[in-house]
Amino acid sequence: MNVKWGKEKYDKIQCNTDESPLQFKAMLFSLSGVHPSRQKVLFKGSTIKDDDWGTIKLTDNANLMLMGTADELPAAPIAKAVFVEDMSEKELAHALELPSGLNNLGNTCYLNATLQCLRSVPELRDAVKKFRGPPLLGGVLQPDQSITAAVHDLFESMDRSSTSVPPIIMLNVLHMCYPRFAEKSEHGGFQQQDANECWTELVRCLQRKLPAVDSPAANNVASQGAAAPDKGFIDQFFGGELEATMKCMESDDEEPSKSTENFLQLSCFIEKEVKYMQSGLKAGLEGEITKNSPSLDRSARYHKQSRIKRLPAYLIVQMVRFFYKGREAVNAKILKDIKFPVSLDVYDLCTPELQQRLVPARDRFKEEEEKQLERAQQEKGQSGPKAAENAAKATEKPVKTEPYSFPDDVGSNNSGYYELQAILTHKGRSSSSGHYVAWVKTKRPDEWLMFDDENVSAVATEDILKLSGGGDWHCAYVLLYGPRILAVHETPSIETPMSL
């Protein structure tokens, strides 16, 4: 569309007539500053309504006229403005304490919560920030390119803003690339969608476009808008490998077969006997299937056992809470209480070969824990000036952190230890209704942030542990675990009084 507003003219604005006119007016709002409630959009003398297009039939390069006044300029602040450059460290920390939320554009909480969880990964933020490429290639919409470019632009907007950001362009691109997310309810608004499905589609797009770390050739390819190599950033930091062993249960003579499978999520199956996430993960790695047996020349039952062959730095666990009810034609929800840990150890889920590789890093964690315990015991027996002097020495040198990946495998996890970093929760009884919220860990001890669309607030760890389910409160649906970082305290040895 070509839109004329006073002396301004906006050429070639994309308009999807399958969506409500209000969506198009929201885009005009982002360009002109005229709120949709004050907009009057004319086409050949007819006024375009908010809820439907009526008898108006738009064609490519149609000329529209926008009438309305933009928001008034804000009044001068009562208090004198303080610029970031002039703030003290304390003032800066307070001003940047709460990051940007995302406005709900009508049942879009599933998208907002997904984006806030993914944005909690610092390596992913850096990779998206470095991405260069137009949203369209040769004038053609390509989901991988368009979604990645939209995430890049949205993250940049969130970095620059101290208030909530309306993800209008991101939502429009998602609807154009995946029309099922643009389904309308019987009331005419957008229908609620499954957050894990949105998570999966976004990650797949990023998987195909974000180049691998420490790969100049891949960066050059991505900057030209071409497809990234087979193994990119997502495969490095989110992709794991499973070694599956198949044993025929009806023939002892048939040798077990092994195969390798890739995963971007692990599933926690919620069965009657499952009360903890770890047992649900184990249940998902064991199972019985039916397939053709080469030794029996017929279909036979096989026992399939999977073990993790490669651990990614960031492990995503999906709670399989939704199942389809044919009679009601709805994805019903399992509300059962499933406890999840803040600190996760997946050593028992790994292959014996990987377990051996994990031992050195795990031993270093134990050594550091023993040193800290010994130091705490020594400090406990001291008092007076000497204790204060040793406490001051303990804060003189910075803490050194060791790599969490194997030297020959960027983006892997070398210990099997994880810390809960973000949770995507759902409140409601079905995936097509209810409300999604993101909960993200901060760098401060015992502090999390709850991203309820545009509302951002601080919560404690005890509030996070209440998200395990068991009622109509928010239930953990997707959990994002990050690598546990080994911090080595390079402090001087504590001086103890000499015995006489």
User: What pLDDT is recorded for position 223?
Assistant: 45
Is residue 250 in some structural domain?
A: no
Is residue 10 in some structural domain?
A: yes
Is residue 368 in some structural domain?
A: no
Is residue 104 in some structural domain?
A: no
Is residue 57 in some structural domain?
A: yes
User: What pLDDT is recorded for position 6?
Assistant: 87
Three-state secondary-structure class, residue 77? coil
User: What pLDDT is recorded for position 228?
Assistant: 41
Residues with Cβ within 8 Å of residue 84, at least 6 apart in sequence: 92, 95
Give the CA radius of gyration of the chain: 27
Buried b (16+ CB within 10 A) or exposed e, 109-123: bbbbbbbbbbbbbeb
Q: What is the pTM of this model?
A: 0.75
Is residue 37 in some structural domain?
A: yes
Q: How far apart are CA 20 and CA 2, in angstroms?
A: 18
User: What pLDDT is recorded for position 311?
Assistant: 97
User: What pLDDT is recorded for position 273?
Assistant: 86
Residue 41: strand pairing partners: 66
Is residue 28 in some structural domain?
A: yes
Domain count, the chain: 1
Q: What is the DSSP string of 387-434?
A: HHHHHHHHTTSPEEE--SSBTTBTTB-SSSEEEEEEEEEEESSBTTSS
pLDDT tens digits in sequence order for the chain, 500 residues long:
899 988 888 888 888 888 888 888 888 887 888 888 888 999 888 898 888 888 888 888 899 999 888 765 555 555 566 665 565 544 544 455 689 999 999 999 999 999 999 999 999 999 999 998 877 766 677 899 999 999 999 999 999 987 899 999 999 999 999 999 999 887 778 999 999 999 999 999 999 999 999 744 444 444 444 444 468 999 999 999 999 999 999 998 899 999 999 999 999 988 878 899 999 999 889 989 999 999 899 999 999 999 999 999 999 999 998 876 666 666 778 888 999 999 999 999 999 999 999 999 999 999 999 988 888 887 776 655 555 555 555 555 567 889 999 999 999 999 999 999 999 999 987 767 889 999 999 998 889 999 999 999 999 999 999 999 987 789 999 999 999 999 886 654 444 444 43
At 57, which CATH number? 3.10.20.90
- Between the two ends of the chain, the Cα-to-Cα distance in Å is 91
The CA distances from residue 337 to 346, 464, 476, in Å, are 21, 13, 10
Is residue 491 in some structural domain?
A: no
Q: Which domain holds residue 32?
A: 2-67
Q: How far apart are CA 109 and CA 452, in angstroms?
A: 8
Q: What is the DSSP string of 219-288?
A: HHHHHTTPPPPSS-HHHHHT-EEEEEEEEESS-SSSPPEEEEEEES-EEEE--TT--BHHHHHHHHTEEE
User: Which residues are annotated as catalytic?
Assistant: 109, 435
User: What pLDDT is recorded for position 397?
Assistant: 55
